[in-house]
Structure formats: structure tokens, C-alpha cells
Structure 1
Amino acid sequence: MENYTSDSSDSENNGKVLDYAYLLMNSETVENRFDTVIKDPKKSHLDVENIILHHNQLNLLPVNLNKFSNMKVLDVSNNGLTILPDVFEYCSLTTLIAKNNSLSNDSLPKSFNNTSTLRELNLNGNQITNFPEQILEFTNLKFLYLGGNGMLFISKNIYKLQSLQVLSFGGNNLTEVPATLGHLKHLYALILCDNKLEGLPANIANLHNLKSLMLHKNHLRTLPPEIVALKNLTELSLRENPLVVRFVSDMSYNPGSLLELSARSVKSHNMDVKPGDVPLTLLDYLNSAHHCVNPNCKGVFFNNRVEHIKFVDFCGKYRIPLLQYLCSSKCANGPKEDIVRPSKSYLMKKVLLG
């Protein structure tokens, strides 16, 4: 039995809800149900704003769906849809969720009507391998989900969606992302995980509102140094990338020699050692000390090269500060090539590596 009640859980979409979820109905059965609602003299179908049809057996949308002209939210997820008609022709949708269907490159209309109202579009888990240029008509779109489609590229015209706040392209076959992505100034979440990316454009640093950047399971060997300009970025996921695998495998935990550690202690405590106090060879060794150029470290080093990494367990994941060398010759030689090290104070809250 359908639910036909007032929904006040979402202030943006409150109103009447028609819920047919998990009933495993085909298109004809749903159409008959709609007819019952439309002909009900006690209730007006024009009051319906939310129509929930996920987890059914629809291969086409019911024809009489167009009678619900005040519909704002339509969820047709987890069906067998092969065609998505222009439902915007007869209503002003704010949310369209059609994830986990069988939509392909030719399933969408060539263009849409009434494109100003849509705020959320979810086409995750379909078979749309080419970026659908027609969705760029939704210029007020805030949330766009196109993950799990096997998509090969992102249109360079993505910059037209200036209102985007969340952009999800995880689980595709992307090898690069366009530099125009850097024009989406309102983005706070960018999901690019599970692709084949080998690099990112430098102007990703223009996404000043970005808080979450999901890059795990790609082919990344480097990150653009400009990424440290993202002052609001609090989460960067990098696990299962070559840069992380190589970084972890190259980490050395070899302790310093007794000579090195003793000499460091002498220099760190400013102990006065004069000729005659120790053999000349040891005096020469003490005088060969290098002062760490890292402003966060006041120590010295001699021959031993030490990379100081602090791991902290966080909800089953590892988070680390960006690589920092303490009392190491690498502090003077520059940052490791495959991990970004900021020249200023550390900005990122956590980096998820595994």
C-alpha cells in the first residue's frame, strides 16, 4: 500500500509524498496506481511533491507521471530504466535520482526544458561512458553524481556549472581531469577516487572552498605543490596510489649510530668541547655538524639521514602530516619528489593513506 502523507522531515521538500519503494512493480502496475491517485476525489494529485519509486522493476517511466505537475523530487533508483525522458517538461524538479539503472549515452534527451530549478542530479551506477553535455544546461545544479559509469572524460565545459558544491566522478575510467575544473569556486567536495588519474591540474588550488578531496585508488605518482594553497581542505584521501605505496615502502626506520646520537646530544646541549678533551677525529666530527634548515626543528645532523613521520590512527585509517624531515640532510636538499611538503606552516588536517 502506498504512503500518501505529509512529509516534514526535509524543510526544502516538505509536502505530499507518494512512496512506492521496494514493491517490485513494473511500469504498467505503477501507472495503474497513479491512475487511482489521480482519480481520487478526496485528494488532489496536484499536492504530490515527492514521488519515490526506487527498487522496482521499471523499464520505462509511467506515462501518467506527467499529471503530477507540482512534483519536486523524483527517485527512480534501482530499476531497469533504459530511457530517461524530459520530465522537466511538465514539472519543476529540484531533485532527480536515477542511480543504478541501465541508462546509456543515448538514454537522455538531447536537451532539457525548465532547467533552472534542478539542484541535485544523481546518475551514479549507470552505463553513461560519455560525459552528457546536456546536463550543463542545469546551471543552478549544486550536487552532481556521475560515479560508476565507466566514463572516459569530463567535459571541459564543466565550468558552466558554477553553483556546484559536490561533484562525484568516482568509479570511472578517467585518466585526466580538465583544468576548467578549477573554475568551480563553490565546490566543497570533489570525488575522483577509483579512476586512472596520473596527475591533477595545478589550478585545483583555485578551489578555495574545497574541504574534501577523494583521490584514492588512482595512478597518482605526484601531487601539484599548489595543493597546499587549499586552506579549507580538511581531508585528502590518497590510499592505493603509487605515490603512497612507494612512500611507505621507502620509509626507513634505521636508528642513528651511537656516534651520531652522542654527537647530536653534545651539540644540542651546547657542551663546550675543546682540543684535548676528545681525540682530534671526534673533534673534527663534532665540527662537521649541519644545522637543520627546517624551522620546526632546532636539531643538528651528521651522516645519518632520518625522516621523521608521525602516524596517528584515526577511525581505522592512518592520517599523517605532510612529509617533514627533522635533523635530516634531506631538509637541505629539498622535498621528496613524490610527496608534497609545504614551505609554510602545515595546512591540511589529515591525509588518509590506508
Structure 2
Amino acid sequence: MDGYEGGTGDTLNLSRLNLESLDLDEMSQDRKRETQQLYLPYNRFTVLPASISLFSNLVFLDISHNGLAFICEDILRLSKLKTLIAKNNRLDEFSLPKDFGSMSLEVINFSGNRFEEVPSQFLKLQTLHYLSLGGNRLKTIPSEIENLTSLEMLYLGGNAISSIPPELANLRYLSYLVLCDNRIQSIPPQLTQLHSLRSLSLHNNLLTYLPREILSLIHLQELSLRGNPLVVRFVKDMTYDPPSLLELAGRTIKSRNLPYTPWDLPGNLVRYLDLASKCPNPKCGGVYFDSCVRHIKFVDFCGKYRLPLMHYLCSPECTSPCSSNPQSDADSEDESSVPAHRMQKVLLG
């Protein structure tokens, strides 16, 4: 029983003791009463012990990495419990007490379990700020998710979710939304109502476009898109056809401002020279006609996270708008020079 005295002050650490039950007869009442944080990971519990209710002042409970398949109703007696961590067990939507939704939990992490649905009890937790159900077997996000009005972070990565309900946009305090490694094919435009959103993780899904409305998420600092057809397709399209001799001659005339008149050149060449497009790179005085470089800066490769933007450049060497220097990239304002229709081409695919 001496092992049950691990930890100091208000923290009791009983992890990695191969416990199958929690016999607290030899533990003092004062010790039980003063414990506010209890760690029980890496034991052999299959059911949360009923004796857990003896820790009447418990605020934090970690029961991760056990064989838990059921959480007993005695947990409901922990009226002060705010954080419940139960990662990597065998829990599913039938493992929770019926009245679990009456608790005052603020943080729930049930990642790495066997949930095929978001438990209805979770959707009644009005005080919940953080919900993690990553690495489960979820196929859908219920529309009732909008009931979690205090939610600030939602982690649902690593499931089999195929769509996002518009009701998710009603979570006015949501700042971090993680939906990576799913099967999501589209983003509802309503998501742009998440005015508090700072981070949106959508990598490794099936997205082929983004709604243009996403530009209205003015507080968004991180947007992760790698591993989606949207990104893969545009990266593959970044090919460069070398300019023809005609274009090289035209570039020389235009970039060096060589004088000419309609009497000096055939009419078709004069018309061709009038089609020159100025390189949008403010540090470059070059032009292009038919051959240009489509240089796309995507959001999740390195440096500062940004929305995808396409730059039409005159040559592969003209790369200032998409500098590899992290500092200059972060400070660059070249995006403002990209016409809206080109940005739309990238965003809408």
C-alpha cells in the first residue's frame, strides 16, 4: 500500500503499478480528501473502480493506457472534476454512465478509443472547453455539436469523417479545429462564421477546393492543407515551358525598352509585342508572353502559415514573391499585388 502514497501535496501518481483494482482502505481520509490530481495511466483497469468516488475533491483524473471498456457511475460523484483524460483504452459510446452529461467537465480527451459516434452525453456538457476524440472510428460530426457553446478546441483528427455539419459554425468561441486525416471532401461556407478561429488543420483529406469565403477568417493564423488533392494537383501543374525564340526576342525588346514603330516591324509582331504581361514581382522589371512560371505558396510546408496564392512569374529564377527566406516570407506583402481572380483560381480549383 506504500505505493499508493506516490506524489506530493495535492497530486497522487499511481501510474505503471500494474493495478487491477483500487483498494484504498489503508489510505488516510485526509490523503483522499486533499488529492486534486490523480494519475492512473499504464495499469490494468478494465472498469473504472468505484472507489474513485472517495477522492471527493478531485479536479484532474488521468486513466489513459489501461484496458478500460466501461466507466462506472461513481464518477458522477466527483462534482469538482474538470479534466478527464482517458486516452488509448477500449471505450465506445456505450461505455459511459447515462447521466455523464450532467458533470461540469471542461476538458475531455478520449483519443485512441473505439468511438463510432460522438456520445450524446458529451453533447450536453455546457462547460466543455476542450474535446479530443482523435484516432477513433467516427464517421460523422453530429449537428448537435453546436450545443457545446463554450468549446474552444475540437480535435477530431484520425477518424473516418466525410463531411462537416454547418452547425459547427455556431461555436462562437472555437479557436482550434483539427480535422486532419479524415475523408472530408468539402468545407461548408458557413465555417467562415467562426470569427474566433485561429488554427484550422485539414491536411490529409480529400479536399479539391476551398470556399472563397474562407478569406473572411481574419484571425486565422494557421491553415494546414498538405496531402489534399487541392494541393497535390496544383503542385503537379507547376510546370514551366521554356520560352520560344519569338518570346525571347519580344522580352528583350520590352524589358530593355528598345524603340520601334509599326513601320519597323510586321503588323503581327507589333500586335504580339502589345500582348506583353508585366511580371508581378515588384523587384523584377521583366515581362512574359506565352511562357510563365506558376509559383504557388501553400500554407503547411514551412515558415508562416498562409492561404494559398498563385504567382505568375516571368522565369524560374524570378522567385522573390515566394522567397525561401522565412523572415522575408513572413514580412512580405507581395500577396496584395496578386489579382483577386488569380487567388480565386487557386481557392476554387
User: TM-score normalised by the shorter chain: which range applies?
Assistant: 0.7 to 0.9
Is 1:231 paired with 2:225? no
Q: 1:36 aligns with which of 23, 26, 38?
A: 26
Give the equivalent residue in structure 2 for 1:272: 259
Provide the rounded CA distance (Å) in 1 between the counterparts of 2:300 and 2:91: 41
3-state SS of 1:236 partner = strand
Give the equivalent residue in structure 1 for 2:57: 70
Which amino acid in the other structure matches residue 324 of structure 1? M
3-state SS of 2:98 partner = coil
Q: 2:191 aligns with which of 195, 201, 204?
A: 204
* Shift of residue 208, structure 1, vs aligned partner: 1.7
Provide the rounded CA distance (Å) in 1 between the counterparts of 2:54 and 2:194: 42
* Shift of residue 151, structure 1, vs aligned partner: 0.6
Q: TM-score, normalised by structure 1?
A: 0.81
Give the equivalent residue in structure 2 for 1:349: none
Which amino acid in the other structure matches residue 173 of structure 1? A
* Shift of residue 322, structure 1, vs aligned partner: 1.7
Q: 1:324 aligns with which of 279, 288, 310?
A: 310
Give the equivalent residue in structure 1 for 2:8: 5
Give the equivalent residue in structure 1 for 2:94: 106
Provide the rounded CA distance (Å) in 2 between the counterparts of 1:310 and 1:103: 42
Residues 26-73 of structure 1 deviation map (CA, whole Å, 9 limit, x = unaligned): 12xxx22x222245xxx4421111110011110112221111111000
Relative to structure 1, the CA distance from residue 338 to residue 19 in structure 2 (aligned partners, 3 Å threshold; closer, same or farther) is: farther
Provide the rounded CA distance (Å) in 1 between the counterparts of 2:270 and 2:345: 38
Contact kept? 2:13, 2:39, Cα under 8 Å: yes
* Shift of residue 147, structure 1, vs aligned partner: 1.1
Contact kept? 1:22, 1:54, Cα under 8 Å: yes
Provide the rounded CA distance (Å) in 1 between the counterparts of 2:160 and 2:301: 30
Give the equivalent residue in structure 2 for 1:50: 37
Relative to structure 1, the CA distance from residue 221 to residue 311 in structure 2 (aligned partners, 3 Å threshold; closer, same or farther) is: closer
Give the equivalent residue in structure 2 for 1:151: 138
Is 1:95 paired with 2:89? no
Provide the rounded CA distance (Å) in 2 between the counterparts of 1:298 and 1:231: 32
Residues 167-207 of structure 1 deviation map (CA, whole Å, 9 limit, x = unaligned): 00111111101101111121111110111110111111111
Relative to structure 1, the CA distance from residue 218 to residue 311 in structure 2 (aligned partners, 3 Å threshold; closer, same or farther) is: closer
Give the equivalent residue in structure 1 for 2:14: 20
Which amino acid in the other structure matches residue 219 of structure 1? L
Larger helix proportion, structure 1 or 2? 2
Q: Give the total of aligned pairs.
A: 322
Contact kept? 1:309, 1:320, Cα under 8 Å: no
Provide the rounded CA distance (Å) in 1 between the counterparts of 2:261 and 2:309: 37
Q: 1:189 aligns with which of 176, 180, 192?
A: 176
Provide the rounded CA distance (Å) in 2 between the counterparts of 1:151 and 1:312: 27
Give the equivalent residue in structure 1 for 2:109: 122
* Shift of residue 209, structure 1, vs aligned partner: 1.8
Relative to structure 1, the CA distance from residue 92 to residue 163 in structure 2 (aligned partners, 3 Å threshold; closer, same or farther) is: same
Q: TM-score, normalised by structure 2?
A: 0.82
* Shift of residue 279, structure 1, vs aligned partner: 4.6
Provide the rounded CA distance (Å) in 2 between the counterparts of 1:242 and 1:149: 24
3-state SS of 1:307 partner = strand
3-state SS of 1:324 partner = strand
Segments of structure 2 that go 5 or more residues without pairing to the other structure are: 315-337
Give 1:210-229 correspondences, 5 Å limit: 210-229=197-216
Relative to structure 1, the CA distance from residue 258 to residue 332 in structure 2 (aligned partners, 3 Å threshold; closer, same or farther) is: farther
Contact kept? 2:297, 2:310, Cα under 8 Å: no
Q: 1:340 aligns with which of 318, 342, 347?
A: 347
Is 1:250 paired with 2:237? yes
Residues 304-343 of structure 1 deviation map (CA, whole Å, 9 limit, x = unaligned): 343133589966x897762224369xx88944877317xx
Give the equivalent residue in structure 2 for 1:286: 273
Contact kept? 1:152, 1:174, Cα under 8 Å: yes
3-state SS of 2:36 partner = strand
* Shift of residue 113, structure 1, vs aligned partner: 6.3
Is 1:80 paired with 2:67? yes
Provide the rounded CA distance (Å) in 2 between the counterparts of 1:46 and 1:308: 63
Provide the rounded CA distance (Å) in 2 between the counterparts of 1:247 and 1:131: 35
Kindly report the root-mean-square deviation, in angstroms, between the aligned alpha carbons of the 2 structures: 3.1
Segments of structure 1 that go 5 or more residues without pairing to the other structure are: 7-15, 342-354
Provide the rounded CA distance (Å) in 2 between the counterparts of 1:233 and 1:312: 12
